[in-house]
Structure 1
Amino acid sequence: MDIVYTSDSCDSDSREQKTVDFGHANKRHLDEDLLRMCKTKKLAEDIETVLLNHNNLSAVPASIAEFENLRVLDLSNNSLDRIPEVVMQCQLSTLIVKNNRLGDDSLPKSMLAASATLKELNLSGNRFTQFPEQVTELKALKYLYLGGNQITNVSKDIWKLQNLQLLSLGGNLIAEIPDTVGLLNNLHALVLCDNLLEALPSSIARLVHLKSLLLHKNHLKHLPLDIITLKNLTELSLRDNPLVVRFVKDMTLNPPTLLELAARSIKVAALPYGPGDLPRTLNEYLQTANCCVNPNCKGVFFDNRVEHIKFVDFCGKYRIPLLQYLCSSKCIDDPSASVSHGEASSSMMRKVLLG
């Protein structure tokens, strides 16, 4: 066992803190060792970090509660299948329990005791199949790691973590991300790689502070169009996705209604009309016209449109496939236009798509 002094780089005052290190001790029980530390009250009060990682612990030592000023607890790489309530009452700022045997019933039913203090929670590499709802009680949380589990869902209450800056969910079985993720106003990094995602919610575009978005190894075929508004995004990983790289040529198109055909004709021909010329309902319908996104087409569409994938410029850095709408299946850009940006763009696109 070592007692060492380290510097907490996360705190602005960079204060010196005392650390008890029982890591890599290959022990099954550490209660007695920790209790010996607590015999000297002054020493126990000084301890802010306890490292119990890489042992054979099957239970969290109850004597952890004796360290009144404990802030960082590392229990990673053990054999834990439960986190007792006493851990939540320790006023921790960092709790690391990655690579254990934790499952859906392993956490305390409530984490409110740690709501005001816990800023980092690492539960990666465990056996969770459901997103732990208790985590959404941690109002001060900034960094949440849940990668390398078997999680199939993300809580719709994820929006409650308003201080969250990093959300890591890579290496799970997630097929859908709720719209509420777009309400994480302070999120800087979102890790969704190695899942089963086929699409992303358009609310992703609300994450104005997002800098890193890792999406590789999914089933994505397109990205939300509004993602191009994320001006702070500097890291985007898309490799190993079935993202389309050319226009879809054969599409199933339901024929437009007679009402839409008539409205299109009026709009395209720019026929003059006023409130007194047409029934009110038709006049209102004409106001809902959408311009075709093809710059070479002057057409419009109303109810009927073709979903279309096209490479568009992303913040002037690279080109990625995004979902757009075209007025008809015949409305397709010249294929040569998709490669007109030269070899530099192609090279950058390969880097983005392939990593």
Structure 2
Amino acid sequence: MKLLSKTLIAAISTFVLAQGLNAQTTICYKKDWKSPSTIETTELEGGECKGEFSFAQMKKNGWKLKDLKIENGEKGLNYIYVLTDKELISIDNAKFMENKYTKLEYNPITTKISNINGDTASINVGNLRVGQSAIIEHTYKNGKSLIVANAYVTASNANSSTLKIIPFLDIKQNAIPTSTRKPVNGDKVTVNYLYDSSMIIAPSQDAFLATREKYKDNDFLHADIFAAKLKVQGEPLPSKETIQEFAATQNIGTIFFVIGSTTYIVDSKTFAILEKGSLSYNFTQDEKMPFYTRIEKIEKNAFDSVLDYENWIGFLKTFLGDDERTEEQILLEDELESGALQVKGEIYNNYYKTILGLKDAAK
């Protein structure tokens, strides 16, 4: 005797789907792929890709990369692309890398905001990098101040810069009242906020130590703390969203990504590349994914991925009977191998280049 009807199971499936996705989001995947260098031009399964379109073709069709997950499969790597047609914070890192490199000063820059028009405003500070982030503070008559918004640079000339105002979500605490105050002309703006508080994503211990020594003026939170969180969450490979959320909770302003012989210094809120520099260290043939850490065996939770609803509904149907899944769905729901992922350097490099939008940038 069945405990739940097919109608109820379908309703549960619809509810879970509604919680995880919206009309502007689609998920495409490739299972057990063995050629990382060709993944972006290979037709992807699922979602709007339908086995007909590659990631490169989807971008041409107007879809934007919201997130990327790579998981260890039985015969290769499982790639999961989360795509959206909604406008995201879009910083063209590939275009930036073609320009002449100019060193960025990390010192906080404080000024007043002006010309507020909706979610845009101006500051009288020029020569900023598109994507540099800032906070906006309002000071009350009693001298107390409150951070009321985040912002980031969308345009800059020699004398001034344009900001886009976005919500301040760095402190997520339901027990603390949330202010509804909006920025007003005259509020204080601090550009490069917490840029000296950083974290290193590196493929090996030698790369990690070399980066920390080269940029020793920065205060680095050890990657072990991030890895410990990934272990608790059961996420072997961190997505862009996961990295950003962790950075916000730990008050990290910049992230140092070591890719090949280059260190990319990235704004943690916008993922804009602020600076790049060469790095010398002892290369190894295999790199450690997700990055160098002393935390061992970061395992994937059974129902913790962007396809969780598939696993959960599959579990219900198996337990309750009437397992009507297709062979493709069953394969997708297979338990993935867990533990630290040792990969060729090309895979590590391509993963983080894709997250940073550098996959097609000039080397």
- TM above 0.5, yes or no, is no
- Give the strand-richer structure, 1 or 2: 2
TM-score, with length taken from structure 2: 0.21
TM-score, with length taken from structure 1: 0.22
Where relative contact order (Cα < 8 A, 6+ residues apart) is larger, the structure is 2
